[in-house]
Structure 1
Amino acid sequence: MNPKKIVFRVDASLEIGTGHVIRCLTLAEALRKRGCECQFICREHPGNLIDLISERGFTAHCLPSAEASRGLRQDPRSLAHAAWLGADWRTDAGQTRKAMGDVTVDWLVIDHYAIDEGWERKLRPACRRLMVIDDLADRTHDCDLLLDQNLVASWQDRYRYKVPDNCAFLLGPEYALLQSIYAELHDRIPPREGRIRRILVYFGGADTDNLTGMVISAFGVINTEGVFMDVVMNPVSPHIASVRRLAGKDNRISLHERLPNLAPLIAEADLAIGAGGATSWERCCLGLPTLIITLAENQRPIAEELDRTGIAQWLGHKDNINAVQLSRTLQTILDNDVPPEWSQRCYALVDGRGVERVASFILLDAQTTFKTRLARLDDEQILLQWANDPLVRKNAFHPDAIDPITHRKWLCKRLDDQENCRLYIVEIENVFPIGQVRFDKIEDGWDISYSLDHRVRDRGFGKSLLQDAISTFKKTKSQTLIFARVKDTNVRSCRLLENINFKLNIHKKNICIYILEI
């Protein structure tokens, strides 16, 4: 079988930062481990990471450098970050298509604030499926899959009407694209509590505003013994020389450059000071309390939500913070112990397995292997989502939405009654649940019901879902009858049941009752 071909269109620069490329590299490495062939297309902006992409073993096609403003179309529809593309969007789309060659790739993955549906339509003929990684929700897309790993207010609704109706969503920190080491460390590092002894400072790959220098200056006037600081900065930063000088004057400070990842330093730290970008999820995954100073407008809603939920403390935007204010805040925090619940809230938000979930979803096909397991109490949220899916409610015999309290009581009762109920979750590779199948004891046998995650509908997985669950159920309850009650208007479910050897037993009052002997 030929490997799946996946192309990433993503850039890094002193203005854009490095986060977009780093998270795409993380996804590409996970896909490569599963046999995919991944390539990158990047423009040669100052501060690009093309050499890093090549060092990681991926082919990087380079688009020529251009002044950001040259050739940009100035019209009312111009995107807020249009200048970041380094060319007008039509030129960039044409150059990208040429770099891809004559092949049609399986997935084209776009992680760029300067690309929207116009560019994406131009590239549609060059790919079977198109994925967008976004953080802003400020433009429309023509894509099959949209990933936004951030936690912001109204995060589940902000892409409504901005993508096609059949677009699948992967939303929230459970899909954060973190390197595998974060999942490995997640369950091994205890919650932070008590006195702060080590502080980690990192403001992204460029830190063009030199907030790192400001933090070092603020730390320098604090007379606290036994507290040390790890500072991480990219050597391409325009302020690296001054940071080296400042750090060299304080023996409490260690400066780190060219690190493969931050995980070891995050694991050692008791407190972090940094920006509100992608590193937020790395810190959360390892339970590190953080003080956030936002660097860009798109970081504000993330910082606001993290502050509101007690995951991090947002000190303000870069323009509103100075060294004097920061030193006072730091001194106050250092004078008090870190409460353990702060760290525990971070742990609960991110488990580090997001890249596994995303890779599993991307590679879903007819050969995908499923695993069926009994439901647990921690499946409550996904089960409620499936139960209240509009199509599920439309086809249900009781179409009213289910409130969370009622659902929790119902779930606890079902989980406690193993003799009369078997509730199964069907997953891909233990990381991505695609649906549920429930067997309830009735007088003559067992009643079966199911629901499929809307993100995997219309891809032929309903048959596998039911067959896998029935096979698992059969191991515990053989020589019995399974009944399925379906509205006769639910033609798709009727055909599916017939396709897996259920026989129509009764059809009356708009209800079809099917039967299967196992």
Structure 2
Amino acid sequence: MLIIIRADASQSIGSGHIMRCLTLAERLRVQGAEVSFVCRNLLGNLSEYIRRQGFEVHLLPRDEACDLALKRPGQVWLEPTWKSDAEQTMGVLKRYRRTIDWLIVDHYGIDHHWQSRLRGGVGQIMVIDDLANRHHDCDVLLDQNYYHNAVDRYHGLIPKDCALFLGPYYLLLREEFYRARKDIRIRTGEVSNILVFYGGADTTNETDKCITGLSDYISSKLEINVVTGQSNSNKARIKDFCSSRQNMYYHCQVLNISELMNKADLAFGAGGFTTWERCFLGLPSIVTVTAENQMETTKAVSDLGAIWNLGWYEEVNTATLFKALEKFLIEPSKLVDMQKRARNVVGARASSGMEQLVEVIFQRRVD
């Protein structure tokens, strides 16, 4: 079985799309599929990282229009046009000279126009999305987020016979998280270890803001682990800041984030996919919304009491973060309760959901 994944990463887009696709790609490869990636050569792309995981990467060319467009607020990150991107992607697919069973698309800039153009060159199309703001021409759609109205969000946006996989039950979690879940510890509410991780790119620079806010509280009893991705443009300054502070430790592009999460008593982070990783391990977290597509699901999970939502990043400052830490230091029972609620949001059977998804992919292979 041959599967092609179209996804991008950059300093502006972040690394989330690629990382979750890599998780799915690894599971498909274990089952015997051949998986390759098609990515645009944007600044901060993760092509070398993907190759180190053992997958082939086809890079679409970057031009100045791409880099300029990615700096515009609200840009959907497909440049120069959907037509040219579709033609370039089709050119890659034709090189294989054999049947491509599945095309998996994880890209906010791609909709039914692009997908319909590629339809004739592949057997089936799967879309990974969480915006529910555009039409898709796909056979399977995966949205891992929690919403009060999960099914209704895609009404009228997908073909009637499209198979929907909705909610945290279908999380694309790496194997390390299932191993970490087996060793999950029950937290007492006492805070001695804090994890700061706002995603790989952290385009709004929340990491810098957070560690500045927390630095006044550093003592010999408190350890703070600060994590960034390789694509974080502020990583040098963050590293220097951590080096100058007692018990603040810097990590870049780590392979053991689940281990750091399991050790932590409290986390500061963004409202993206790492929300689910933290919940899966029962890690209480103070969350800042750093992108519009995080608003709805962050509020929904906060309403369940599984996270503490600070709101939109422009309204969060160093004082806000410091006060949030103080709140939970004073009321440790709230962290104990949040831990239980976080674990319940995802549950222990997320691997079963991904197995069901993989099974459907293999059942629908082209004969």
In structure 2, C-alpha distance between the alignment counterparts of 1:292 and 1:285, rounded to whole Å = 15
Q: Structure 2 counterpart of 1:43, which letter?
A: R
In structure 1, C-alpha distance between the alignment counterparts of 2:266 and 2:145, rounded to whole Å = 21
Task: Kindly indicate whether structure 1 or structure 2 has the higher relative contact order, using CA contacts under 8 Å at least 6 residues apart.
Answer: 2
Are positions 1:35 and 2:28 aligned together?
Answer: no
Alpha-carbon distance change, 247 to 69 in structure 1, aligned in 2, over 3 angstroms: closer
Residue 78 of structure 2 corresponds to which residue in structure 1?
85
In structure 2, C-alpha distance between the alignment counterparts of 1:144 and 1:188, rounded to whole Å = 37
Counterparts of 1:181-192 in structure 2, within 5 Å, are 181-192=176-187
Are positions 1:99 and 2:98 aligned together?
Answer: no
The Cα of 1:221 is off from its aligned counterpart by 1.4
Counterparts of 1:446-485 in structure 2, within 5 Å, are none
Residue 16 of structure 1 corresponds to which residue in structure 2?
13
| Counterpart contact for 1:12–1:45, Cα < 8 Å | yes
245-254 or 185-194, which deviates more: 185-194
Are positions 1:165 and 2:160 aligned together?
Answer: yes
Greater C-alpha radius of gyration: 1
Q: State the TM-score, normalizing by the size of structure 2.
A: 0.92
348-357 or 6-15, which deviates more: 348-357
Q: Structure 2 counterpart of 1:23, which letter?
A: R
Are positions 1:357 and 2:356 aligned together?
Answer: yes
| Counterpart contact for 2:14–2:231, Cα < 8 Å | no
In structure 2, C-alpha distance between the alignment counterparts of 1:224 and 1:250, rounded to whole Å = 10
Counterparts of 1:222-371 in structure 2, within 5 Å, are 222=217, 225-339=220-334, 340-350=336-346, 351=348, 352-353=350-351, 354-364=353-363
Report how many residues are paired: 355
| Counterpart contact for 2:220–2:246, Cα < 8 Å | no
The Cα of 1:70 is off from its aligned counterpart by 9.2
In structure 2, C-alpha distance between the alignment counterparts of 1:205 and 1:71, rounded to whole Å = 21
The Cα of 1:358 is off from its aligned counterpart by 2.2
| Counterpart contact for 1:285–1:346, Cα < 8 Å | yes
| Counterpart contact for 1:68–1:85, Cα < 8 Å | no
The Cα of 1:309 is off from its aligned counterpart by 0.8
In structure 2, C-alpha distance between the alignment counterparts of 1:111 and 1:199, rounded to whole Å = 31
Deviations along 1:401-451, whole A, 9 cap, x unmatched?
xxxxxxxxxxxxxxxxxxxxxxxxxxxxxxxxxxxxxxxxxxxxxxxxxxx
Q: Structure 2 counterpart of 1:361, which letter?
A: V
Residue 212 of structure 1 corresponds to which residue in structure 2?
207
The Cα of 1:192 is off from its aligned counterpart by 2.1
**SS at 2:136 equivalent:** coil
Deviations along 1:9-51, whole A, 9 cap, x unmatched?
0000111110000000100000000000000000000010010
**SS at 2:113 equivalent:** helix
Alpha-carbon distance change, 15 to 60 in structure 1, aligned in 2, over 3 angstroms: same
Aligned match for 1:59, one of 49, 56, 59: 56
**SS at 1:299 equivalent:** helix
| Counterpart contact for 1:222–1:331, Cα < 8 Å | no
Residue 42 of structure 2 corresponds to which residue in structure 1?
45
In structure 2, C-alpha distance between the alignment counterparts of 1:357 and 1:199, rounded to whole Å = 35
Counterparts of 1:137-148 in structure 2, within 5 Å, are 137-148=132-143
| Counterpart contact for 2:142–2:166, Cα < 8 Å | yes
In structure 2, C-alpha distance between the alignment counterparts of 1:345 and 1:21, rounded to whole Å = 28
Deviations along 1:85-138, whole A, 9 cap, x unmatched?
122001000000001123331110000000000000000011111000001000
In structure 1, C-alpha distance between the alignment counterparts of 2:65 and 2:294, rounded to whole Å = 22
The Cα of 1:160 is off from its aligned counterpart by 0.6
Q: Structure 1 counterpart of 2:46, which letter?
A: L
Residue 457 of structure 1 corresponds to which residue in structure 2?
none
Structure 2 residue ranges without an equivalent (≥5)? none
In structure 2, C-alpha distance between the alignment counterparts of 1:118 and 1:54, rounded to whole Å = 29
**SS at 1:331 equivalent:** helix
Q: State the TM-score, normalizing by the size of structure 1.
A: 0.66
Higher share in helix: 2
Q: Structure 1 counterpart of 2:85, which letter?
A: D
**SS at 1:38 equivalent:** strand
The Cα of 1:71 is off from its aligned counterpart by 12
| Counterpart contact for 1:214–1:322, Cα < 8 Å | yes
